[in-house]
Chain A
Amino acid sequence: MKITEDDLKKELAEMKRASAEVRAYLETVDKKIAELDLRYAKLLVKDEITALKTAKAILLGRNK
């Protein structure tokens, strides 16, 4: 089927929209990565709260 100028313009508009969606999606992915990185980083550093909770539990019942 022969392609018309209108078809092409419509295709271009859809592609632009898809492209913009991808960029928006990538931004959410960045945020997700950052959030998970933070969780992992916090896991590694054993931030104050986690460390204290665990340590307290050990102190209260499991440590001699």
Chain B
Amino acid sequence: MDITKETFTPTVNKPVEPKKEKIGKEVKDESVLAISGVAEAGLNEGAITEEKKGSKKGPDKPIDVTEAEAGPVRPEPTLSQETARTVANIDSAVLGREKAYADLGELARKDIYYGNDKRQEELNARVSQTFEMQESDSRAYADASKWDRFKHNIGFGRNEIQEVDGRGIVDTRKLDSTDNLKKRDDARTEEEKKEESQQIADSLLKSGVKPEDIASLMGTIKTSYKEQRSSKQEGRVVKIVERSMTEDETAKAAAKIIEADLTGLEKGQGADLIKNKESLEKHKESGKGLKELTKDLGEAATKGIEEKMAAEEAEKVKTIDGQEKALAAELNKFRTPLEGRLKEISDIVDDFSTAFEDLKIKESTFAERVRNFDAKIRQAEKSGLLQGTKEKLLQELNTQKAQDAVDLAALKDKRETVQKRLTVLQKDKAQTEKMLERINRIGKTREDLRKEQEAARAAAEAAKSEAEAVTPPVTGETPAEGASTNENESNDSDVPKGKTADATDVPETPVGAPKVGATAGEEKPAEGSTEDPSGAEAEPFPRAGEIIKKLVEQYPPRNIDKAAYIRATKNCFLEEGETKFVPEKKMKEKAIRSGVYSFCMKVLNMADTEIPVQVDYIMESLKQKKEKK
């Protein structure tokens, strides 16, 4: 997530510059607000919203077709004040935060470890640097009492026994009560103090601290002295200066903490879980050959062994279940904010992609139009039409040609601007996905991962072949593919048979696709409608399909595309052939194998969310069908 290497300075800023003078201090002030912190970002947004409410500029501005007559119009000045203001905000916000957001540090500091005292303490740790003793330092140290020096060196009373500017090493608790300590105020001259500050500042700069951070860091400095105890340097005193970390350093420290935590989970809880899962598999394998091995022992003995094996297996399963839950709770600390981030960044990427595609079309369409226009002018020139008294027309044509060139360049510039942003955002998105993928792998055996990959591949292939086979509907209706009439089909599961109409295979964004959740209650089919052989669309699964689709939008999948994910989820809910629902237990097993367990659970556990009606509907439909059977 390191965006510091990328240029994210919007090229759209360039046109804004001439306007800054007009906007004046207002823009500058907002920029300062934007850079100064998150709360201000919220305020700015409010300000912008207010601007928008009152603004009559932008698209509402009437198009003046006579502008071309006055010469080429550069697109830059057409930027509205509102846009310029927003862009100025963004500049400041982006520039100010780019570096601080190095790697995952910022996310960790603000989200993941928020409220975690131990981690916050680590993040607020101080950086120490060792300095050569100056003459004034030596004096300050020597002025301390023998007892204070001793305590200082062994670290006893660390907060009380420390160097106080101009007073040497003192017991700070006595500062106000001991006259002798007050006398030490004059121990160092102003020049010496200044020299010391300069020495520290130089050292900070050398250690990579930015000049603008020096002043704030100087206020956090604590100094102490340490007598070397090694035989070679026995008695040598060094001065140690401690300071708080800068934002950059904090971000890097947070990234290190995240890394350490994840590695810890991989090698600790994750590794233990894998070990137990493998042990369970071995246990199951050994159970398979049990009958053969115990055939001579008699029925009672065999039964006893089988019971013991079953009990052991149940114990192992219970342990694994507990470990999985504990690990999931730990991983969710990382996963939840990352998933939120991925969702948000995916939305922005999608919007930029749309803008990019639109710009490409506009650019090529306009370029074609300009070529035709130029051809007409050449034709007129050749035919002699523009000779003689047509000077005014000729001038207008030339002016328009120049304007066309400016417009084309502006379109190209905007396309490149958007493309540049897409590159940065896609890289950011890929890194977030990579991190999520890493989290997703923790605690999984090779077999788990192999099955997940297999399921994802199969789902992707199925989705691909279906996409090729099915013409995308443009009416907004979901297709009724997969409907069947298998009412008489034998079924040994605890789930009733029924026809299903698969609504999950609609293209991701069909034109006018129905909005899930908006009219859930209204769309709920009447009871009994599922018995109508021609009413495949009214079957319950289309609703489940919509829920899945909706949830896929809310929780975008990692590694595989959305259609494949929808497909994989749907497969968990349906028997092979997609003619009936599977029992819940089997659904869960399939979900685990397919690597979409948590997602399937989301589908079932949406009762407390915004679309409970549909989920209730699925479960109700299942119940009704079961009762009918």
| A interface residue numbers (CB < 8 A to B) | 2-5, 7-9, 11-13, 15-51, 54-55, 57-59, 62-64
Contact = CB atoms under 8 A, between A and B. Distances in A.
Contacts of B58: 27-28, 31
Interface string B44-88: 010010000000001101011111100001010011101100110
B201 interface: no
Contacts of A27: 58-59, 61, 75, 78-80, 83
Contacts of A32: 351, 355
Contacts of A47: 38, 41-42, 45
Contacts of B48: 38
B38 A58 contact: no
A17 B78 CA distance: 16
B359 A29 contact: yes
B414 A26 contact: yes
B336 interface: yes
B107 A30 contact: no
B411 A33 contact: no
A16 to B, nearest CB: 4
A26 B75 contact: yes
A51 B341 contact: no
A41 B94 contact: yes
Interface of B: 3, 10, 12, 15, 34, 37-39, 41-42, 45, 48, 58-59, 61, 63-68, 73, 75, 78-80, 82-83, 86-87, 89-90, 93-94, 96-98, 101, 106-107, 110-112, 114-116, 329, 332-333, 336-337, 340-341, 344-345, 347-348, 351-352, 355, 359, 362, 366, 369-370, 373, 376-377, 379-380, 383, 385, 390, 393, 396-397, 400, 403-404, 407, 410-411, 414, 417-418, 421, 425
B79 A30 contact: yes
Given A29-B414, A34-B86, A40-B425, A15 B64 contact: no
Contacts of A34: 10, 12, 83, 86-87, 90
A38 B370 CA distance: 34
A31 B393 contact: no
Nearest to A46: B110
B98 A44 contact: yes
What is the interface of chain A mostly: helix, strand, loop, or mixed? helix
Contacts of B37: 45
Nearest to B116: A63
Question: Do most interface residues of chain B lie in helix, strand or loop, or is the interface mixed?
Answer: helix
Contacts of A40: 94, 345, 348, 421, 425
Given A20-B67, A31-B58, A55 B94 contact: no
A39 B167 CA distance: 52
Contacts of B66: 16
A15 B400 CA distance: 8
Given A17-B65, A43-B345, A24 B59 contact: yes
B421 A33 contact: yes
Contacts of B352: 36
A34 B10 CA distance: 9
A62 B329 contact: yes
Contact of B114 (A7, A13, A20, A59): A59
Contact of A3 (B101, B366, B380): B380
Given A20-B65, A46-B38, A58 B115 contact: yes
A45 to B, nearest CB: 5
A42 B63 CA distance: 33
A36 to B, nearest CB: 6
B97 A44 contact: yes
A29 to B, nearest CB: 5
A32 B344 CA distance: 16
19 contacts: A13-B65, A16-B400, A17-B65, A19-B68, A20-B63, A22-B366, A27-B80, A34-B86, A37-B12, A38-B93, A41-B94, A47-B41, A48-B42, A49-B42, A51-B110, A54-B111, A54-B336, A55-B111, A63-B333
